[in-house]
Structure 1
């Protein structure tokens, strides 16, 4: 069975965030870091080389494949800030309609900059997602 490529490691989150070249994106990353620490009450941890994650859960698929992954997190990608909302977005329609300018993938929320979205709505979305994952996985 294959191993996950993205695993938690001991790299420095502060060094990683301080190395974000774009000053607006760097500031947004520190803002997201503070918000996610507040919501999860967990310290950030690097996952792979470019994802900052908070808390973790263990999963087992029907196929038998198992692993661990962060409950919430974010990554400063070239085009967007990617915010990981692990349960996806279907259960949060009212939050998504009032969030502001964004795009979504399966569990990824893409925003150009935090100024484009309502931070109270983002905090509620992260909180709902984190609580869902904690209730489901412990």
Structure 2
């Protein structure tokens, strides 16, 4: 039980010691998806200022922030990240704020999920818009949560 009397919830997505490069080389099936994955690592590392870390078995994340909900549930998550899933990339790069929603208009071909944006390949999206999304999300999380990005 946590301090609110609710059952404590353990976050399944935690930072691991697995190498992101090893994960991509072992888990990503096609050469194109591997190339896109390494491009995302290069871009997200540059934009965030953090090296890639594996979060859970399939998410490549950059930096981290600590969240705490009114329910008492809390944990750590990457600031931005992606998962090269079989069907599509899951991009964890978007905070749905009024300032960010307009960025989706010029983003390219995507589908919106509850917590991520799905894209088939990097060629389908506008990299400049992706950069703006990532930086806006990092700024938002830095303002709203305890954030490792404050150390930079």
Say yes or no: TM over 0.5: yes
Residue aligning to 1:52: 60
- Separation in structure 2 between the aligned mates of residue 34 and residue 99 of structure 1, nearest angstrom: 19
Q: 1:64 is matched with which residue?
A: 72
Identify, as 1 or 2, the structure richer in strand.
Answer: 1
1:18 counterpart (22, 25, 28): 25
Are the aligned partners of 1:45 and 1:53 in contact in 2 as well (CA < 8 Å)? yes
Aligned equivalent of 2:4: none
Unaligned runs of 5+ residues in structure 2 are 1-7, 148-152
- Which residue in the other structure is 2:116 paired with? 108
Aligned equivalents of 2:16, 2:61: Cα separation in 1: 10
Structure 1 residue 34 and structure 2 residue 42: aligned? Answer: yes
The answer on 1:75 being equivalent to 2:100 is no
Unaligned runs of 5+ in 1: none
Distance 1:86 1:120, change over 3 A: closer
Query: Contact (CA 8 Å) 1:88, 1:108: kept in 2 or not?
Result: no
Question: TM-score w.r.t. structure 1 length?
Answer: 0.93
Whose radius of gyration is greater, 1 or 2? 2
In structure 2, what is the equivalent of residue 122 of structure 1?
A: 130
- Note the aligned Cα RMSD (angstroms): 1.4
TM-score by length of 2: 0.85
